Amino acid sequence: MKIQEKSVVAIEYTLTSDEGEVIDSSEGGEPLTYIHGVGGLIPGLERELEGKGMGAMLKVRVAPEDAYGVRDDNQIARVPKTQMPKGAPLEVGMQFQAAGPEGVQVVTVVKVEDDAVWLDGNHPLAGMHLNFAVTVVSVRAATEEELEHGHVHGPGGHHH
């Protein structure tokens, strides 16, 4: 069957930056499994997978607008070290989870000063073009229960 809304799709993928750096890959692990059409994948990739069948291989370059968004300078803030967790090693490039107005978000330390750190709340992949090499491993229809739960059951998904 072809990938359409409410398909359960398993893909193997490698994600690289424009500079050729591998950002993420399913190699050596389980394929990524998702329900098509419910927002489980970034829109730019999901659109290209639509209509593809098992065994299909594709290369997709996704613009930031169709991936993790453009960078927003308002997401960068200077935080006094006194407000940071005690004993946390603060180095540029460090990432941790912080509670924000829209739930938990990943923030990255972008600058360290004597008494403060600069934190960037942009998604680490915001502003980047993403290059996917994808192979479709399997396609099947989602069960009623999976659609109700909004996630995949069985291999690559939830077991409960």
Tokens of 108: 């990255």
Which one, 7 or 108, has the nearer CB to Zn ion?
7
CB of 24 to Zn ion, least distance (A): 24
Binding mask 131-160 for Zn ion (x = CB under 5 A): ------------------x--------x--
Q: Which is nearer to Zn ion, 71 or 153 (CB)?
A: 153
Within 31-90, which residues bind Zn ion (CB under 5 A)? none
Residue whose beta carbon is closest to Zn ion: 149
Q: What is the sign of the dihedral through the CA atoms of 92, 28, 150 and 130?
A: positive
Instruction: Choose between 71 and 149: whose C-beta lies nearer to Zn ion.
Output: 149
Please state the closest distance from residue 146 (CB atom) to Zn ion, in A.
7
* Count of CB atoms situated within 10 Å of the CB of 147: 14
Instruction: Determine the residue type at 19.
Output: E
CB of 26 to Zn ion, least distance (A): 22
CA dist 22 and 10 (Å) reads: 20
- 129 touches Zn ion by CB under 5 A: no
* Kind and range of the H or E run holding 43: helix 43-49
> From the CB of 157, what's the least distance to Zn ion, in Å?
8
Cβ atoms of 26 and 112 within 8 Å: the answer is no
Residues ≥6 apart with Cβ < 8 Å to 127 = 64, 68, 69, 70, 71
Interface residues with Zn ion (CB under 5 A) are: 149, 158
